[in-house]
Amino acid sequence: MIILGIHDGHDSSAALMVNGKIIYAAQEERFSGLKTDYGLPVGAIKDCLKSTGIKAKDIDEIALGTKYLNPVLMRIKRNANFSVSNWIEEQEKFWKPKILDNKKVSYWDTFKNKKFKCDKIYNYNGILNSYMSSKDMEIFQKRRIEKISSFLKIDKKKIKIQLHEDCHKYYSYFFFKERKNGIAITSEGIGDYSNGSVSVIKNENFKLISHNRHNHLGHIYQYITLLLGMKPSQHEYKVMGLAPYSSSYELKKSFKIFDDVLKIKNLDIVFKKKPKDLFYHFKEKLIDCRFDGIAGGLQKFVEKKLEEWFLACSKKLSYKNFYFSGGVAQNIKAGMSLNLSNKFSKILIPPAAGDTSISIGACFKSASDYCEKNNKSKSSFIKPIENMYLGYQINKSEIKKYISEKKIKQKYFVVENIKSKKIAKEIFNGNIIGRCVGKMEFGLRALGNRSILCDPRYFSNINKINAKIKKRDFWMPFTPTILDKDFDKYIDNPKKLDARFMSMAFNTTAEGKKCLGAAIHPADFTARPQKLEKKDNLSYYELIKEFKKFSGVGALLNTSLNLHGLPIVRTVKDAFYVFENSDLDILIIEDFFFKKKSKINNFYN
């Protein structure tokens, strides 16, 4: 049974499942170069088929995630193209006239003349005149299917649409080996029928219990991100990173304003006091609140509302295990807060829990349907995801060709067949390394194969990476990759949660604070770690093991190999672009070592 999963909304991606196992997954942004790209993931699909050797004619089913997509937003690729000023323009020229002034206004007319990289794959004739027309979305749904059918030369009957919320909750459950009866929660901006849902999972079957469209946790976080001068749908993590810097005094001022808006009613989050417009409500109410206090109050509000919601669900439905997905589930500090509570057993949150993983979730849902039709055991047929190294891999001939064509040896010191010990020594000596090795990771986190690495012990490395390479906001923390044998030495994980994917936050131990100073949050000393097991990534494991021999620390600081605002690198060309446009000291591509000649020093010592 071969299933191709496709997600063509924002953060578009493709995934391939063969006999219940995901063998490939990649985001389109890595191929197009447009971060959080929209639309049919043509590049990812082509690479998927090429990398796996699967022919389109061999595909048994295409699982297309999400039934209703807004054609106007798809055409302009809103989340990917919008700058902060565009988001503000949307509020002032569309939502304010529409909601507050009761005027008729066209979203398409507002933005159609912008110099955006618009989608040219789908047919938008006659369906751009309204913003959320159910009729237009029905027409668009048929056109999406028609385009996929013609692109892959595959019968339309093989294309099955899976509901957005189903993709989320099936992903959150079948991702893990630990599949127990429990509650599946989704919370996000908008899905097919809700922005918050509650389902019971019993004997691997899902039953939807409650859902609504008033769960605005995600929207509120988006609006505050914008009010703080950052990009909604991309920079919420920056607000979360800023929150721990707030004083309790400043936090309390804004928290009350947030807490007055939403409440728990039965199994849903609903309005307590419904403002006419959320964005302008908070713009007015928060006028005398400090920026750090706003971030802190918002984060506390989300954590408190989620705990109240989960507790209401647990009491009503008599389960303590939760599977949490949707954009709000990517708030790792909220997930940490839930897991620190003794009111729940475990809150399981998979990596890339937002729309990025809709393609994989669609595969899981189609596989589940297949098992039901054929009386197969879901638990034995649908395999958990063992690791996130699921994408494109650079081959040696590609590297050699680039070296030759770009005359790399004239510009850089080059060594082939570099050993882990030598790389580890360079890191120990204070160099910052870009590592582009093996299969590309799927999702939001670099897990060693498309990473920037350095010594985690020295706080000064934060400023070095931010100033010379990443250009990140000064308050944002980096993260550690930790060898499994050293994990408990540095990280406090009382519930033994799966920490292999940087999808959860934890408190650090005294030893962790001492040894991982550059790779933990400077304000609250929490970490979003990757627990590395040898079976998941042998060469990366050996590198950290060698570094430990020099330093005594079984961990490295790990951040994604990209420049700010660009996707994580995929190819040799992408990696060299970062290398040549930053102060990265060394670049590793597979077993090739590249060092700027001005920084050679005593390489052979």
The pLDDT value recorded for residue 472 is 81
> Residue 604: its pLDDT value, please?
46
Report the alpha-carbon distance of residue 573 to residue 577 in Å, rounded.
6
| pLDDT tops 70 at residue 29 | yes
Instruction: Give kind and range of the element (H or E) at residue 13.
Output: strand 13-18
Pairing relationship of beta strands 586-589 and 592-596 according to DSSP bridges: antiparallel
Q: Which residue has the higher pLDDT, 598 or 425?
A: 425
353-362: pLDDT as tens digits = 999 999 999 9
Q: What is the 3-state secondary structure (H, E, C) of 257-300?
A: HHHCCEEEECCEEEECCCCCCHHHHHHHHCCCCCHHHHHHHHHH
SS (H, E, C) 106-169: CHHHHHCCCCCCCCCCCCCCCCCCCCCCHHHHHHHHHHHHHHHHHHHCCCHHHEEEECHHHHHH
Gap between the Cα atoms of 362 and 62, Å rounded? 9
Terminal Cα-to-Cα distance of the chain (whole angstroms) = 54
Strand partners, 451: 435, 560
**At 173, which helix (H) or strand (E)?**
helix 164-174
Give residue 400's Cα distance to chain centre.
32
- pLDDT at 269 > cutoff 90: yes
Q: With b meaning 16 or more CB within 10 Å and e meaning fewer, what string describes 71-84? A: bbbbbbbbbbbbee
Hunting for tokens 């390479």 — which residue is that?
Answer: 469
Length of the chain: 605
Average pLDDT over residues 288-302: 98
Check: CB of residue 335 under 8 Å from CB of residue 349: yes
Mean pLDDT of 163-171: 98
Beta bridge partners of 510: none
Residue 542 near residue 420 (C-beta atoms within 8 A):
yes
Mean pLDDT computed over every residue of the chain:
96
Distance CA 460, CA 437 (A): 27
Mind listing the pLDDT tens digit for each residue in 514-552?
999 999 999 999 999 999 999 999 999 999 999 999 999
Q: What is the Cα–Cα distance from 196 to 190, expressed in whole angstroms?
A: 8
pLDDT for res 602: 53
What tokens does 381 get? 């047929």
CB under 8 Å to 521, separation ≥6 — which residues?
241, 244, 477, 527
Helical ranges in 442-537 per DSSP H: 460-465, 487-490, 510-515
Q: Look-up: residue for tokens 């040896």?
A: 409
Structure tokens at 213: 């469209």
pLDDT in the model for residue 605: 46
Coil, strand or helix at 440: strand
Going by their DSSP bridges, the two strands 479-483 and 530-532 should be labelled as: parallel
318 pLDDT above the threshold of 80: yes
Quick: pLDDT tens for 64-97. 999 999 999 999 999 999 999 999 999 999 999 9
Q: How much is the pLDDT for 599?
A: 67
Region 134-140: what's the mean pLDDT? 95
- The residue ranking higher by pLDDT, 472 or 500, is 500
Residue 370 neighbours by CB distance under 10 Å = 19
User: Please, which pLDDT band fits residue 600 given cuts at 50, 70 and 90?
Assistant: low
The answer for residues whose C-beta is within 8 angstroms of residue 599's C-beta and 6 or more apart is: 431, 585, 586
User: Do strands 321-325 and 346-348 pair parallel, antiparallel, or not at all (unpaired)?
Assistant: parallel
Question: What count of Cα atoms within 13 Å lies in the side-chain half-sphere of residue 14?
Answer: 25
Per-residue model confidence (pLDDT) at position 598 = 74
How is the beta sheet containing 321-325 ordered, strand by strand? 205-212, 196-202, 182-187, 321-325, 346-348
Residue pair 428/547 in contact (Cβ under 8 Å)? The answer is yes
Whole-number Å distance between alpha carbons of 357 and 351:
8
Calpha distance 552→532 (Å, rounded): 17
- Percent of the chain beyond pLDDT 70? 99
Least Cα distance to 562 among 25, 29, 28, 7 occurs for 29
The confidence band for 336, taking pLDDT boundaries of 50, 70 and 90, is very high
What are the two backbone dihedrals, phi and then psi, of residue 433, each rounded to the nearest 5 degrees? -110, 135
The DSSP call for residue 328 is G
Q: Say if residues 554 and 14 touch (Cβ distance below 8 Å).
A: no
Non-local CB neighbours of 428 within 8 Å, separated by 6+ positions: 455, 547, 550, 551
> Residue 453's pLDDT is what?
98
Q: Write out 393-460 in H/E/C secondary structure.
A: ECCHHHHHHHHHHCCHHHHEEEEECCCHHHHHHHHHCCCCEEEECCEEECCCCCCCCEEEEECCCCCH
- Of the chain, the percentage scoring pLDDT greater than 90 comes to 94
What phi and psi, each to the nearest 5 degrees, are found at residue 268? Answer: -130, 155
Q: Place 601 in a pLDDT band, splitting at 50, 70 and 90.
A: low
Distance of CA 80 to the CA centre of its chain: 14
